[in-house]
Structure 1
Amino acid sequence: MIQRHGPNERGRDFIVGDIHGQWGLLHDRLNAVGFDRQRDRLFSVGDLIDRGADSLQCLSLALEPWFYAVRGNHEMLAYDALLGEERGSLKARDAWMINGGTWALEAGLAEAQTMLQQALPYMPYAREIAVAGKRLGIVHAEPPADWRDIVTPSQDQLWGRTRIRRGDETSVSGIDAVVVGHTIVERPLWLGNVHYIDTGAFATGRLTLIEARTLMSSVGS
């Protein structure tokens, strides 16, 4: 459900917004910051796939030793269509295709299914990182009001938008800050101690990549 990470003593930690199959854009951003795959770590808010032609390659990132993603709603749409109880049903397949899963028709459904099976065990619902003496949480869509409740599975963690629709600036208790994606924002946005970083890479060409220490330096200041 949640995986916790100690501080990176060798390099830097970065967090990236929803990638959605934008392989080239991701690597442009990593090259721009001199990302070192031997020392640095990259954390993702999920939605590696759909709406982009390079979704299969992006999903394979979950197998890289320097890459740490949480699962998003698009990984779960693919799961329902390819691996879940409704696998093979028109309802599950159509829901995925309508939401950007058509890349799998070109890549091959069998290959997409195999990669998804390999990737999902490396994509928990939430992660927590120790950064500069503080605790940073990551979940795809919406955290619970109390971070201690993150161990209980919730559809809000994958699909929720209540906080951002209300403009709710109440901080999540039990954690210093939380980073989420899912809802496209024009620029990264703070609501309380929750930071939204999905800037719509598949539509805008803007993929947010932020260093964790830079993010946390503004928390509690």
Structure 2
Amino acid sequence: MLMMHEANTRGRDFFVGDIHGQYRLLGEALRRVAFSRTDDRLFSVGDLVDRGADSLDCLLLVFQPWFHAVRGNHEELARNALQEGEGSNAWALWMINGGGWVVESGASEARRVLEAALRRLPHAREVTIDGERVGMVHAEPPADWSRIEEADPEALVWGRSRIQRGDETPVAGIDAVVVGHTIVERPLTLGNVHYIDTGAFCTGRLTLVDARELLT
């Protein structure tokens, strides 16, 4: 459920919004900040796949030592569809929600990579940055981060109640939380929760933020 990351003593940490198969946009964003694959780390809020042609390439990023993502609802949609197969309701739902990339990649290859990737995609991560603790889930954190390992996985990958209410109550037990899932025109902060999905697949804007800037 939760993976912990100690402070990066060699380089910088960045958070990136929902990538959704936009491999080129990610590469451009990393080049703009002179990202070092040996010293820096990239933390992804999930939804690596769907709605973009390069979804398989984006999914393969989870095997890179500098890339750390959480599980998004589109990884769940893909898993369910590939388990149940073509012709199933899960497959139809996946196609409606951007799973068409599998036609070119091939279902067997997508299934193989996804099964391996899911073992590296926890529901939550926690990172120490300049002595502060930053949590990350795809959609919605629990009210108290100390209960993250007891949280409802469906809420972590699908929830939107906090942002729909405009709830500015800080999540207890953590300094900040970074999430994606809900598209915002520009990065938005409610309490200590930072929303960074700016809809790369439809707007062309992929948000990449330096962790230290986020905390200030």
TM range (shorter): over 0.9
Instruction: Give the fraction of aligned pairs with identical amino acids, expressed as a percent.
Output: 63
Q: Which residue number in structure 1 is paired with residue 39 of structure 2?
A: 39
Shift of 1:192: 0.5
Separation (CA, whole Å) in 2 of partners of 1:95 and 1:26: 26
Displacement of 1:153 in angstroms is 4.4
| Aligned equivalent of 1:107 | 105
List gaps (5 residues or longer) in structure 2: none
**Structure 2 counterpart of 1:123, one-letter code:** L
1:141 equivalent in structure 2? 139
Counterpart residue number, 2:28: 28
5+ residue gaps, structure 1, are none
Question: Any idea what the Cα deviations from partners look like across 1:3-61, whole Å, max 9, x if unmatched?
Answer: 00000000000000000000000000000000000000000000000000000000000
1:48-197 mapped onto 2 (5 Å cutoff): 48-83=48-83, 86-87=84-85, 90-154=88-152, 155-197=154-196
Partner Cα separation in structure 1 for residue 204 and residue 70 of structure 2: 22
Do 2:142 and 2:151's aligned partners in 1 also have CA atoms closer than 8 Å? no
Query: In the superposition, relative to structure 1, how do residues 32 and 60 fare at CA in structure 2: closer, same or farther (>3 Å)?
Result: same
SS in 1 for 2:19: coil
Aligned to 2:207: 208
Q: Which amino acid aligns with 1:62?
A: V
CA distances 1:160-187 after superposition (whole Å, capped 9, x unpaired):
0001111010010000000000000000
Per the alignment, in what secondary structure is the counterpart of residue 98 of structure 2? helix
TM superposition shift of 1:89: 5.5
The amino acid of 1:215's aligned partner reads L
Give the letter aligned to residue 172 of structure 1: V
Name the structure 2 match of 1:199. 198
Maintained 8 Å contact 1:129/1:135: yes
Task: Indicate if the aligned counterparts of 1:26 and 1:207 stay in contact, CA closer than 8 A.
Answer: yes
Structure 1: how far apart are the matches of 2:187 and 2:10? Answer: 27
Q: CA offset at residue 117 of structure 1?
A: 1.1
Runs of 4+ displaced beyond 2 Å: 86-89
TM-score (norm: length of structure 2): 0.98
Amino acid at match of 1:170: T
Counterparts of 1:87 and 1:145, CA distance in 2:
36
SS of the aligned residue for 2:185 comes to: coil
Report the residue type matching 1:97 in the other structure. Answer: M
Any idea what SS the aligned residue of 1:102 has? helix
Quote how far apart the aligned CAs of 1:106 are: 1.4
State the SS of the aligned residue for 2:97. helix
Q: CA RMSD in A?
A: 0.9
| Cα deviation, residue 81, structure 1 | 1.1
Tell me the CA shift for residue 87 of structure 1. Answer: 4.7
Question: For residue 11 of structure 2, what is the aligned residue in structure 1?
Answer: 11
Q: Is the 8 A contact 1:132 1:216 kept in 2?
A: no
Please say which of residues 146-155 and 98-107 is displaced more in the overlay.
146-155
1:62-112 Cα deviation digits (max 9, x unpaired): 0101000000000000111113xx455611101111110010011111111
